[in-house]
Chains A and B, each alone.
Chain A
């Protein structure tokens, strides 16, 4: 029999009294608890069931409320805020449709391990289960896309549950937690409110398994062709330096996943770029030629591995992840190490002998360093080539700018061509692939770091999913730069129709509004780029704007993302640009 027992979760511990009144409304207890949890911003939208919270908010000036235009935007803003501030973002919605509108943002945060606390109003307890107006079973709905969801049943539970929710959201593998609070609980008096609550982190394994570490060290020491794959876990653990040290000690190249982008400086000699479905053929060839792969903080999902049976066929895989559920989930692992990425990388680096592998490094450089002169020729034939646009955005932005990138062709072009030198500046909905993520996430990033240079890179399909948040940007004076790579198509879907569905173009051409007029209508600035000569000057002008700005770039309409691994295919089967 296998068994898994665990210590009881830490309960909220009274720490110190504060100046809060002895009895308060539940809604005020919630606000007190949020302030004590370190919350300074809530992204939300009011409604009937959450009215008591909104009635209390003016009495808690430490809580800045950002009024969004749609609850999905609130969740994505909390996500962007959390990625930049490295603390849980908070979003809030009313019951029923308010709560259901949060679900996409919660699912995206869950897939990408982003700490978040979502608060939803609920109908009064006497109405629950009676299909009351704006009643939904939000707990049942979000169960698969949150780390946990709480229903507050007693007003005195509000503060301890808030403390537990924040502890849970940031403990171990971070993620979203939801708190559902019925309206009568928010209106009830709380007799014992006012205590600061310090919830200890939930059970997290902190000691690395020495036996597994030893096996990993032995494998790496004996490797002739070691390669490291860095995932989001490296960034979440702030293990960039540890990664670089171990890679240097092993003389091992480092590939990265989409969210691992930023784990290592892309200009570093050891960096070999992104692997997987849209990774470079050289990177995928390197992975497939490795004899030992050290995967750190990733789940080896299908976009990374392609056909699993053909993924790195000659390699033994060492897998480091904070979440034990990830070890062995998608790829067979020779060694699984559960723990913090930084601690595990440091522990291996302390134990493994330094090595030099010039032949291996030369082979990898040969695969990844091929010059592609025909790509430049192909770009030159287009008026506005996507690669040139991405490079122009990078040149117009500050060196430490944040890039919030939506989902589709532009996402892959950005991942391939931004070539970021500064760590942790690439935000995207990688796991869920939620279109409409970038603009609200950029607003959240801008709120988190008001002096930062924040760019949203979106497609014309994505833009029309959450464009209403431009109203939020104007109202809050958030100077986000939104660049729309506008090709008149849902481009990635069209590309699949071209390549894998016999070219039958079905429901992928999409019209757009006049984005310059739209920006003007919202009170923002708008530019339209139709010629190559306009690109640099207009992006530079956008960079100088002190308020929100849209740049509508009419890119080559039929450009595609290359390479691409066909569905079900192996990474080695990637199709490359026919023009290259």
Chain B
């Protein structure tokens, strides 16, 4: 399954590193990561990744648990 995670992340030291640490721990096969400035305080992060079965909701919960992540959403893009 290829999925897209959309995160709203505070612009704080280490916050992007923490997001990427979750991606690594949940064994997401990264296809792309994009970061854009939403405003002076937040980044919008989009991660497109191959997600092993059952890992998507866990990764979403892990992202949402990060202190600097304000919102997290997951959508499935394509099967296989």
Contacts and interface: CB of A to CB of B under 8 A. Distances in A.
> Is chain B a partner of chain A in the same complex?
yes
Given A151-B13, A151-B14, A4 B63 contact: yes
B17 interface: yes
A324 B67 contact: no
A328 B63 CA distance: 16
Contacts of A6: 64, 70-71
Interface in A3-38: 3-6, 8-9
Interface in A148-178: 148-149, 151, 153, 168
B74 A143 contact: no
A1 B4 CA distance: 10
Interface string B21-52: 10011000000000000000000000000000
A2 B58 CA distance: 11
Nearest to B24: A144
A5 B73 CA distance: 8
A324 B75 CA distance: 20
Contacts of B72: 3-5
Interface residues of A, number: 24
A3 B71 contact: yes
B34 to A, nearest CB: 18
Interface string A321-357: 0011100110000000000000000000000000000
Contact of B67 (A3, A144, A148): A148
Contacts of B56: 2
A137 to B, nearest CB: 9
Given A2-B60, A328-B58, A329-B58, A8 B17 contact: no
A325 B61 contact: yes
B65 interface: yes
A117 to B, nearest CB: 14
A153 B13 contact: yes
Nearest to B67: A148
A140 B67 CA distance: 15
A256 interface: no
A225 interface: no
A199 to B, nearest CB: 12
B2 interface: no
Interface in A306-333: 323-325, 328-329
Contacts of B24: 144
A363 interface: no
Contacts of A149: 14
Contacts of A143: 14, 17-18, 21
Contacts of B71: 3-6
A202 interface: yes
A329 B65 CA distance: 15
A204 to B, nearest CB: 11
Given A4-B61, A144-B25, A325-B61, A168 B67 contact: yes
Contact of A4 (B21, B64, B68, B75): B64
A5 B71 CA distance: 4
B12 to A, nearest CB: 8
Nearest to A5: B71
B14 A1 contact: no
A139 interface: yes
A147 interface: yes
A153 B18 CA distance: 18
B75 to A, nearest CB: 4
Sorted nearest first, the 3 A-B pairs with minimum C-beta distance are A4-B64, A3-B73, A139-B14
Given A144-B24, A328-B57, 14 more contacts: A1-B73, A5-B64, A6-B70, A6-B71, A9-B67, A139-B17, A140-B14, A143-B18, A147-B67, A148-B66, A148-B68, A149-B14, A202-B67, A325-B58
Interface of B: 13-14, 17-18, 21, 24-25, 54, 56-58, 60-68, 70-75
21 contacts: A1-B73, A2-B75, A4-B73, A5-B64, A5-B70, A6-B70, A9-B67, A139-B14, A140-B14, A143-B14, A143-B21, A144-B24, A144-B25, A148-B18, A148-B66, A148-B67, A148-B68, A149-B14, A323-B65, A324-B61, A325-B62
